[in-house]
Amino acid sequence: MTVELILQLIALGTSVGFMAGLLGIGGGGIFVPVLTSLFLANHVESTYVVHLALGTSMTTIVATSLSSMLAHNKHKNVLWPIVKKMVPAIIVGAFITTFVVVYINSKALALFFTIFMAYVSFKMAFGGKKPLSAEHAKQASMFPALGIGSISTLVAIGGGSLTVPYLVSLGNDIKKAIGTSAAIGFPLAIAGSLGYLINGWNIEVSSSLENSGIIGFVHLPAVVILSICGFISAPIGANFANKLPMATLKKIFATLLLALSIKMMLSVF
C-alpha cells in the first residue's frame, strides 16, 4: 500500500472509532462509503468493490465494537438481558445473509445502502416515539433481532443504525440503547466477517494494490490499520456519549447517516 493510503486509513479508523463509541453504530456506516471510494481510487474492480468494502468494514467492526462495548459497560450503559435475548437471532441472520450478498451486484448494494441510511436518519430525527413503561422498556423480540442481523450484514453497519432506534422505540434511554447496541454489534460483526470471508474465498478481486492482502471479501491490511486506530479512539467517543445530552446525540446520529447515504450514492454511481 502507498503511504497516502495508509495515512487515509489511519485517519478513517481514528474518526470512525470515535463515532462508534459516541453513537454505538459500530462504524460500518462510515467505513463502507469511504472504503468504497478508496478502493475505487486504487482500481479495485467495480464488480466487487462494494462487497470488499462491506467485508472489510464488517471485519474491522469486531475491534471497534469490542472497544466501544467495554467503554460503555464501564458507564453501566449496557442492558445485558436484552443483549442475551437478541444475540442468538442476530448471529443467525447475519451469517445467513452473507451467502446471499455474493449474488447481488455492487450498484444494487450501494442503492440499498443509500436508501436504508436515508430512512434511518429520517426516523431518528423525526420519528421518535413517546417513552413506554419501564417494564416494557426492558423487553425485546427475537424476530426484530433476526432482521437486524440480516440487514446489518447486508450494509455492514454493525447493527447500531437499527438497534438504537429499536431500543429507543421500546422506551429505553438513548444512552443505554447506544451502549447495548455496541455490545450486540460485537458478536454480529464476528458472524458477518466470517461469512464475508467464506463466501468470497474463491472469488479473485483484482486491484492495483501491491501485495493486496485481499482474502475473500476482506482486505486484511486495511482491517489491521482500521482496527488498531478504532480500538484506541472508541473509548474517547464513549466518554463523550456519557456527557452529551440525548437530543444532541439524536441529531448527530441522524445527520451523520444522511450525509453518508449521499456519499455512498456519489461514490458508486
pLDDT at 27: 66
Range from 59-68, 124-133, 153-162 that averages highest in pLDDT: 59-68
Q: Residue type for 195, please?
A: G
The H-assigned helical ranges of the chain are 3-23, 28-41, 49-74, 80-101, 106-126, 134-137, 142-155, 160-169, 174-199, 220-241, 246-268
Which grid cell is 127? Answer: 420519528
What is the percentage of the chain residues whose pLDDT exceeds 70?
80
- Torsion from C-alpha of 88, 94, 98, 100, nearest 10 degrees: 100
pLDDT in tens, 102-140: 788 878 877 887 787 777 677 667 755 444 444 444 456
Task: Please identify which residue in the block is written with the cell numbers 450525509.
Answer: 259
Phi first, then psi: what are they for 218, rounded to 5°? -130, 130
Q: Residue type for 166, please?
A: Y
Q: Taking each helix axis from N to C terminus, what angle separates 220-241 and 3-23, rounded to the nearest 10 degrees?
A: 40
Select the more confidently predicted residue: 254 or 95.
95
Task: Please identify which residue in the block is written with the cell numbers 430525527.
Answer: 125
Phi first, then psi: what are they for 178, rounded to 5°? -65, -45
> In DSSP terms, which residues pair with 214 in a beta bridge?
219
Q: pTM for this structure?
A: 0.74
pLDDT at 223: 93
Q: How many Å apart are CA 101 and CA 106, to the nearest integer?
A: 10
pLDDT at 240: 79
Neighbours of 224 (CB within 10 A): 16
Q: How many Å apart are CA 13 and CA 58, to the nearest integer?
A: 13
18-22, 24-28, 148-152, 263-267: least confidently modelled range: 24-28
Q: Classify each residue of 141-157 as buried b or exposed e, where b means 16 or more C-beta atoms within 10 Å of its C-beta.
A: eeebbbebbbbbbbbbb
Cβ pair 102, 51 in contact under 8 A: yes
pLDDT in tens, 28-59: 677 888 888 888 888 887 788 888 888 998 89
pLDDT at 133: 42
pLDDT at 32: 82
What is the end-to-end Cα distance of the chain in Å, rounded?
Answer: 25
